[in-house]
A = this chain, B = another copy of it.
């Protein structure tokens, strides 16, 4: 059973009201850092795994990509993508990323934004991505930080007055399912260690180019709760390239 919370009507409605859904890339707190990690898309073929509303697909196409394939498990997300971010070089396809198959060396770039925490088997996925990429191809993704996913609830610890005390970490080395609350709804996510994320890349023919924990940008500090995001790392951004040899 692939995780597909986004076709749940209530959850999708709440997701659609988030800044990152209404405003697109500029509404996402990590975008100012993620953009720096993206390659020059000119003439390249791009795969976006878990494309959601298609904002990154549109960005790649507008920056010269020859072909962009956005995939997502959620039909509702893809309908929104077709409506908000269509393009002559953009194709959207419904599929769980675990079920995709492509010929070797099909893409120059593989992107994924905040989707890997829904995937049970990251290692197999990385092995697939490595095969799908051309030698020298780029793999750029954001993910929920292992600190953020370890405990499970993804909520702070509070004192009796409701004031934040700290963020809890537990069961760090116990990888697997977590029952998280996102937008007030129960969502199944998968926790894994930093080792599993980064060392899996290094052991499967990737070179790391950048590893960045994005801090919220200054102009978002007035958004309620945003200053607290300096107290815990919520996301990790990774840029890697497939080794030309091997």
Interface residues of chain A, those whose CB is within 8 Å of chain B, are 147, 151, 157, 165-174, 193-195, 198-199, 202, 207-213, 215, 230-233, 236
Q: Identify whether the interface residues of A are mostly helix, strand, loop, or mixed.
A: mixed
Contact A213 B231 (CB under 8 A): no
Cα–Cα distance between A170 and B231 once the two chains are bound (Å): 5
Q: What are 29 sample pairs from A and B whose C-beta atoms fall under 8 A apart?
A: A151-B166, A157-B166, A157-B168, A165-B170, A166-B169, A166-B170, A167-B168, A167-B169, A167-B170, A168-B169, A169-B169, A169-B231, A169-B232, A170-B231, A170-B232, A171-B231, A172-B232, A173-B231, A173-B233, A194-B211, A194-B213, A194-B236, A195-B211, A195-B213, A199-B212, A202-B210, A202-B211, A207-B208, A208-B208
Q: How many copies does the complex hold?
A: 2
Measured between beta carbons, the chain B residues less than 8 angstroms from A209 are: 202
Cα–Cα distance between A143 and B193 once the two chains are bound (Å): 16
Cα–Cα distance between A209 and B202 once the two chains are bound (Å): 6
Q: Which of B195, B207, B210, B215 contacts A199 (CB under 8 A)?
A: B210
Cα–Cα distance between A135 and B49 once the two chains are bound (Å): 37
